[in-house]
Copies of this chain bind each other. A is one copy, B any other.
């Protein structure tokens, strides 16, 4: 297993490669659209941890060391993640002024541009995936599979379904385990799992390998969200870079609110162990992915 320092340097390397790609890819092409591109870039480069990109790249690295070829696809996933954050932060949604210690997109560029920048980012992700001039050795068949994976996981059967359930039913609701699981699985786990499976697809992994990674993705994605819930209680605004304690104020349905803090931490450990079991099949090559699992679960922000 990689130690914590190795994992952090791997994630840093992934983030640098993804950011460097995005910096060259998303450029101003004319004066009329310069504000749009500026706004898209503002949120893209607002200090995201690039966890989804790192998961995609380390899933691919189970099979191959030539990670440069998958960087653009990792960037596409981060575009989708960024768009979802811009829209989630809007006044009509979670109404957040800060994220990662910086003003949210609509606080800087106004609501109209924030909505349109989100729209442009999700659209751009599909443009990127289907651009044959980028990583030209990737087949059309793989591009179709990846487009499917990304659209299904982030759409009305995935991320958006989770966000809608959270908005409509997640606040001031009666304790409801199946609703909580629905929100967490859809709102964040599906895209995390898709990131891992896209990495495997790019490496032409076998079906059985994808099945193991899918199971791993379910556990690690849910664990990620539970840790998010826990940090909202145990951390501060200074560390999180966003308002802490908001879930309690909004009476949000979370793991700690439903199971208590101790039981939530126990579930977290259980999920982490299950995730590691799932990928033990890959032996020594799984050390990067295992390192990232630990990092995700034991992060402090």
Contacts and interface: CB of A to CB of B under 8 A. Distances in A.
Contact of A92 (B37, B111, B154, B161): B111
A300 interface: no
A160 B123 contact: yes
Contact of A35 (B40, B120, B155, B164): B164
B119 A122 contact: yes
Contact of A32 (B111, B151, B152, B164): B164
Nearest to A29: B157
Interface string A123-143: 110110111100000011101
A112 interface: yes
B122 A122 contact: yes
* Interface of A, helix, strand, loop or mixed by DSSP: helix
Contacts of A182: 30, 32
A119 B121 CA distance: 11
B120 A92 contact: no
Contacts of A35: 164, 168
A115 interface: yes
A270 interface: no
A150 B141 CA distance: 18
A87 B115 contact: yes
Contacts of A119: 83, 87, 118-119, 122, 160
A123 B83 CA distance: 12
Contact of A123 (B131, B141, B155): B155
